[in-house]
Amino acid sequence: MRRLMNVRWFTSALVIVVLSVACLQLGRWQLHRLDSRKAHNEVIRKNLAAPVTPLTEIVGPDRVIGEQHDWRTATVTGRYDATKQVVVRYRNVNDRPGFEIVTPLLLPDGTAVLVDRGFLPKQGGELAPGTVPAAPSGEVTVTGRLRRSERGGHTNGGTPADGTARLINGAEYAPALGLTLYDGYLTVDQQEPAADPAFRGFPGPEIDGGPHFFYALQWFLFGLLAIGGLVYFSRQDVTAEEPATVAGNNDDVARTTP
């Protein structure tokens, strides 16, 4: 019986130790994510403070809007191609569900950049916006914030289908729209001629540490609780065995007494 208890104890102890190590690694991972977020916050602060600059002077010839460009204010001039406009569904701005209207802006060099022209709040249970403001015709100058392409793991939400999509991804839009697009997009802050007043603007970035520090503390606490539980129940087993051992010794003495 004692041998069986030892096997069970060692198995339980091994499981708890593995669980504790896993909690430790998850806590360290959250701290690593916190460090990454702090570093990215610094990039965002610098980009927000940077002067308005032409798009071509910010993004290199690879036309990839990367993390180093996030929230940088750029200006670009071109012509909207409303025939290839995309309605982005399942969006939420300031806790209000709705749609975003993304229209390619054709540039003089033959390339194009996706422009998020604004947010249209959802009216009731509609699955598509009732009315989409027309894109201005002729030459347009857009000033706005650069954003990286959105990615959704293994989903295909970044590929437009029937004029709609769930994500804004320049690399995935390009073959679907037949355009040479920048990998990323631009949200409108100002536009000449002016944007339609029906469009709502977008809030700025959240520059904080997020929940990662508290998540890390939770994982470390779970690991400590697991080790503490192992110590507690081990002591309980030892305490329970001591009276049984004493009782066994007394029986032996009683049997050997004449």
Residue 204 — pLDDT band, cuts 50, 70, 90? confident
Hey, where are the domains in the chain? 2-38+211-256, 72-192
DSSP 95-131: TEEEEEEEEEEE-TTS-EEEEEEEEEE--TT-SS-S-
Residue 225 — pLDDT band, cuts 50, 70, 90? confident
CATH architecture of 72-192: Beta Barrel (2.40)
Between 2 and 59, the more confident residue is 59
Whether pLDDT at 4 is above 50: no
Q: What is the Cα–Cα distance from 174 to 6, expressed in whole angstroms?
A: 64
Mean pLDDT for all residues in the chain: 86
Q: pTM of the entire structure?
A: 0.74
First vs last C-alpha separation in the chain: 31
